[in-house]
Chain A
Amino acid sequence: VQLVQSGAEIKKPGESLTISCVGSGYNFMKYWISWVRQMPGKGLEWMGRIDPSDSYINYSPSFQGHVTISADKSIGTAYLQWTTLKASDTAMYFCARHSNYPPDYWGQGTLVTVSS
Protein backbone atom coordinates (compact mmCIF):
# COMPACT_ATOMS: atom_id res chain seq x y z
CA VAL A 1 0.00 0.00 0.00
CA GLN A 2 1.31 3.42 -0.93
CA LEU A 3 -0.02 6.95 -1.04
CA VAL A 4 2.31 9.18 -3.02
CA GLN A 5 1.78 12.92 -2.96
CA SER A 6 2.87 15.58 -5.40
CA GLY A 7 5.95 17.67 -4.67
CA ALA A 8 6.51 20.82 -2.67
CA GLU A 9 4.99 24.04 -3.98
CA ILE A 10 5.93 27.71 -3.60
CA LYS A 11 3.12 30.10 -4.46
CA LYS A 12 2.15 33.75 -4.08
CA PRO A 13 -0.94 34.94 -2.20
CA GLY A 14 -3.98 34.95 -4.45
CA GLU A 15 -2.71 32.15 -6.68
CA SER A 16 -4.46 28.82 -7.16
CA LEU A 17 -3.06 25.37 -6.46
CA THR A 18 -3.98 21.70 -6.73
CA ILE A 19 -1.99 18.97 -5.00
CA SER A 20 -2.49 15.27 -5.57
CA CYS A 21 -2.35 11.94 -3.76
CA VAL A 22 -1.99 8.72 -5.77
CA GLY A 23 -3.03 5.48 -4.10
CA SER A 24 -1.63 2.09 -5.11
CA GLY A 25 -1.42 -1.45 -3.81
CA TYR A 26 -5.04 -1.57 -2.63
CA ASN A 27 -8.58 -1.07 -3.91
CA PHE A 28 -8.72 2.73 -4.06
CA MET A 29 -12.52 2.76 -4.00
CA LYS A 30 -12.85 0.85 -0.74
CA TYR A 31 -11.23 3.45 1.52
CA TRP A 32 -11.94 7.07 2.29
CA ILE A 33 -9.17 9.58 1.66
CA SER A 34 -8.81 12.34 4.23
CA TRP A 35 -6.67 15.46 3.97
CA VAL A 36 -4.85 16.69 7.08
CA ARG A 37 -3.05 19.99 7.61
CA GLN A 38 -0.03 20.51 9.83
CA MET A 39 1.13 24.09 10.21
CA PRO A 40 4.78 24.64 11.14
CA GLY A 41 5.43 23.31 14.63
CA LYS A 42 1.75 22.59 15.24
CA GLY A 43 -0.64 19.68 15.54
CA LEU A 44 -2.72 17.83 12.99
CA GLU A 45 -5.99 19.28 11.67
CA TRP A 46 -8.52 17.21 9.75
CA MET A 47 -9.71 19.14 6.68
CA GLY A 48 -12.20 16.78 5.08
CA ARG A 49 -12.65 13.42 3.42
CA ILE A 50 -13.85 11.88 0.20
CA ASP A 51 -15.28 8.47 -0.68
CA PRO A 52 -13.65 7.76 -4.04
CA SER A 53 -16.35 5.28 -5.02
CA ASP A 54 -19.04 7.96 -5.32
CA SER A 55 -17.16 11.21 -4.57
CA TYR A 56 -19.21 11.87 -1.45
CA ILE A 57 -17.35 14.55 0.51
CA ASN A 58 -17.62 16.12 3.90
CA TYR A 59 -15.52 19.04 5.09
CA SER A 60 -14.48 20.31 8.46
CA PRO A 61 -16.31 23.61 9.08
CA SER A 62 -12.88 25.19 9.55
CA PHE A 63 -11.99 24.49 5.91
CA GLN A 64 -15.38 24.47 4.16
CA GLY A 65 -15.44 27.04 1.38
CA HIS A 66 -11.68 27.56 1.30
CA VAL A 67 -10.56 24.25 -0.20
CA THR A 68 -12.05 21.70 -2.59
CA ILE A 69 -11.51 17.96 -2.27
CA SER A 70 -12.03 15.72 -5.27
CA ALA A 71 -10.98 12.35 -6.63
CA ASP A 72 -10.62 10.52 -9.94
CA LYS A 73 -11.22 6.86 -9.21
CA SER A 74 -10.18 5.86 -12.71
CA ILE A 75 -6.58 6.81 -11.91
CA GLY A 76 -6.67 6.24 -8.13
CA THR A 77 -5.95 9.87 -7.31
CA ALA A 78 -7.33 12.33 -4.79
CA TYR A 79 -6.87 16.09 -4.98
CA LEU A 80 -6.85 19.12 -2.70
CA GLN A 81 -7.44 22.44 -4.40
CA TRP A 82 -7.26 26.12 -3.50
CA THR A 83 -8.52 28.90 -5.77
CA THR A 84 -7.12 31.77 -3.71
CA LEU A 85 -4.14 30.99 -1.51
CA LYS A 86 -3.31 32.98 1.61
CA ALA A 87 -0.06 33.20 3.54
CA SER A 88 -1.81 31.35 6.36
CA ASP A 89 -2.15 28.31 4.06
CA THR A 90 1.58 27.69 4.47
CA ALA A 91 1.73 24.19 5.92
CA MET A 92 2.45 20.53 5.29
CA TYR A 93 -0.55 18.69 3.87
CA PHE A 94 -1.02 14.95 4.22
CA CYS A 95 -3.46 12.57 2.61
CA ALA A 96 -4.39 9.39 4.46
CA ARG A 97 -6.66 6.45 3.80
CA HIS A 98 -9.17 5.09 6.28
CA SER A 99 -12.28 2.97 6.60
CA ASN A 100 -14.00 2.20 9.89
CA TYR A 101 -10.58 2.33 11.48
CA PRO A 102 -8.31 5.34 11.82
CA PRO A 103 -6.03 6.50 9.02
CA ASP A 104 -3.44 3.76 8.64
CA TYR A 105 -1.46 4.64 5.52
CA TRP A 106 -0.40 8.24 4.93
CA GLY A 107 1.18 10.07 2.05
CA GLN A 108 4.64 11.53 2.58
CA GLY A 109 3.24 15.05 2.78
CA THR A 110 3.28 18.05 0.46
CA LEU A 111 4.83 21.26 1.76
CA VAL A 112 2.97 24.33 0.53
CA THR A 113 4.65 27.69 1.03
CA VAL A 114 2.67 30.85 0.28
CA SER A 115 4.75 34.00 0.30
CA SER A 116 4.94 37.22 -1.62
Chain B
Amino acid sequence: QSILTQPPSASGTPGQTVTISCSGSSSNVGRNAVNWYRQLPGTAPKLLIYSHIQRPSGVPDRFSASKSGTSASLAISGLQSEDEAGYFCAAWDDSLNGWMFGGGTILTVL
Protein backbone atom coordinates (compact mmCIF):
# COMPACT_ATOMS: atom_id res chain seq x y z
CA GLN B 1 0.00 0.00 0.00
CA SER B 2 1.38 3.40 -0.94
CA ILE B 3 2.13 5.70 1.91
CA LEU B 4 2.85 9.36 2.36
CA THR B 5 6.60 9.98 2.39
CA GLN B 6 8.25 11.18 5.59
CA PRO B 7 11.90 11.17 6.65
CA PRO B 8 12.47 8.19 8.97
CA SER B 9 14.21 10.30 11.61
CA ALA B 10 14.74 13.86 12.78
CA SER B 11 16.61 15.38 15.69
CA GLY B 12 17.23 18.63 17.49
CA THR B 13 18.48 20.11 20.72
CA PRO B 14 16.27 21.63 23.42
CA GLY B 15 14.91 25.02 22.39
CA GLN B 16 15.46 24.48 18.68
CA THR B 17 12.81 24.34 15.98
CA VAL B 18 12.46 21.05 14.10
CA THR B 19 10.48 20.54 10.89
CA ILE B 20 9.14 17.22 9.63
CA SER B 21 8.04 16.91 6.02
CA CYS B 22 5.27 14.85 4.42
CA SER B 23 4.99 14.32 0.69
CA GLY B 24 1.97 12.91 -1.09
CA SER B 25 0.09 13.19 -4.35
CA SER B 26 -2.81 14.98 -5.96
CA SER B 27 -5.29 12.40 -4.64
CA ASN B 28 -4.41 12.98 -1.00
CA VAL B 29 -2.19 15.84 0.28
CA GLY B 30 -2.78 17.89 -2.86
CA ARG B 31 -6.53 17.80 -2.49
CA ASN B 32 -7.40 17.20 1.14
CA ALA B 33 -6.54 18.42 4.60
CA VAL B 34 -3.35 17.12 6.17
CA ASN B 35 -3.40 15.92 9.75
CA TRP B 36 -0.61 15.05 12.15
CA TYR B 37 -0.36 12.46 14.91
CA ARG B 38 2.10 11.83 17.68
CA GLN B 39 2.75 8.31 18.96
CA LEU B 40 4.68 7.12 21.97
CA PRO B 41 5.99 3.52 21.90
CA GLY B 42 3.30 0.94 22.63
CA THR B 43 0.47 3.46 22.63
CA ALA B 44 -2.17 4.65 20.19
CA PRO B 45 -1.56 7.67 17.96
CA LYS B 46 -2.81 10.97 19.34
CA LEU B 47 -4.18 13.69 17.07
CA LEU B 48 -1.86 16.69 17.09
CA ILE B 49 -2.99 18.86 14.17
CA TYR B 50 -6.09 18.55 11.98
CA SER B 51 -7.42 20.41 8.96
CA HIS B 52 -3.90 21.64 8.15
CA ILE B 53 -3.51 23.98 11.14
CA GLN B 54 -6.09 23.27 13.86
CA ARG B 55 -4.90 21.99 17.23
CA PRO B 56 -7.13 19.91 19.51
CA SER B 57 -7.62 21.22 23.00
CA GLY B 58 -4.49 20.73 25.08
CA VAL B 59 -1.98 20.75 22.23
CA PRO B 60 0.47 23.64 22.77
CA ASP B 61 0.98 26.26 20.09
CA ARG B 62 4.61 25.14 19.79
CA PHE B 63 3.17 22.72 17.24
CA SER B 64 2.23 24.20 13.88
CA ALA B 65 1.74 22.90 10.37
CA SER B 66 1.63 24.10 6.80
CA LYS B 67 0.92 22.77 3.33
CA SER B 68 1.94 23.68 -0.20
CA GLY B 69 0.77 21.66 -3.18
CA THR B 70 1.39 17.98 -2.51
CA SER B 71 3.74 18.57 0.43
CA ALA B 72 3.11 19.43 4.05
CA SER B 73 5.21 19.99 7.12
CA LEU B 74 4.98 19.95 10.88
CA ALA B 75 7.08 22.40 12.89
CA ILE B 76 7.88 21.99 16.56
CA SER B 77 9.37 25.07 18.16
CA GLY B 78 10.98 25.36 21.57
CA LEU B 79 11.89 21.67 21.42
CA GLN B 80 11.56 19.81 24.71
CA SER B 81 12.75 16.37 25.77
CA GLU B 82 9.13 15.29 26.13
CA ASP B 83 8.67 15.85 22.38
CA GLU B 84 10.60 12.66 21.69
CA ALA B 85 8.08 10.47 19.89
CA GLY B 86 6.98 9.19 16.51
CA TYR B 87 5.14 11.65 14.26
CA PHE B 88 2.83 10.62 11.43
CA CYS B 89 1.04 12.63 8.79
CA ALA B 90 -2.33 11.53 7.42
CA ALA B 91 -4.67 12.64 4.67
CA TRP B 92 -7.83 11.35 3.08
CA ASP B 93 -7.08 9.74 -0.27
CA ASP B 94 -9.80 10.11 -2.90
CA SER B 95 -8.52 7.18 -4.98
CA LEU B 96 -8.26 4.85 -1.99
CA ASN B 97 -11.50 6.24 -0.51
CA GLY B 98 -9.75 5.90 2.81
CA TRP B 99 -7.01 7.31 5.01
CA MET B 100 -3.43 7.44 3.80
CA PHE B 101 -0.76 7.63 6.49
CA GLY B 102 2.89 8.58 6.37
CA GLY B 103 5.63 6.11 7.21
CA GLY B 104 6.39 8.03 10.38
CA THR B 105 9.31 10.11 11.65
CA ILE B 106 11.07 9.30 14.92
CA LEU B 107 12.09 12.53 16.64
CA THR B 108 15.09 12.48 18.96
CA VAL B 109 15.89 15.37 21.29
CA LEU B 110 19.67 15.42 21.73
Contact = CB atoms under 8 A, between A and B. Distances in A.
B59 interface: no
B84 to A, nearest CB: 16
Nearest to A49: B98
Interface size class of A (residues with CB under 8 A): 20 to 34
Contacts of B56: 104
A106 B42 CA distance: 13
A58 B98 contact: yes
Interface of B: 1, 3, 33, 35, 37, 42-47, 50-51, 56, 88, 90, 92, 96-104
Given A60-B98, A102-B35, A102-B50, A94 B44 contact: yes
Contact of B98 (A42, A48, A104): A48
A112 B33 CA distance: 32
A96 B46 CA distance: 11
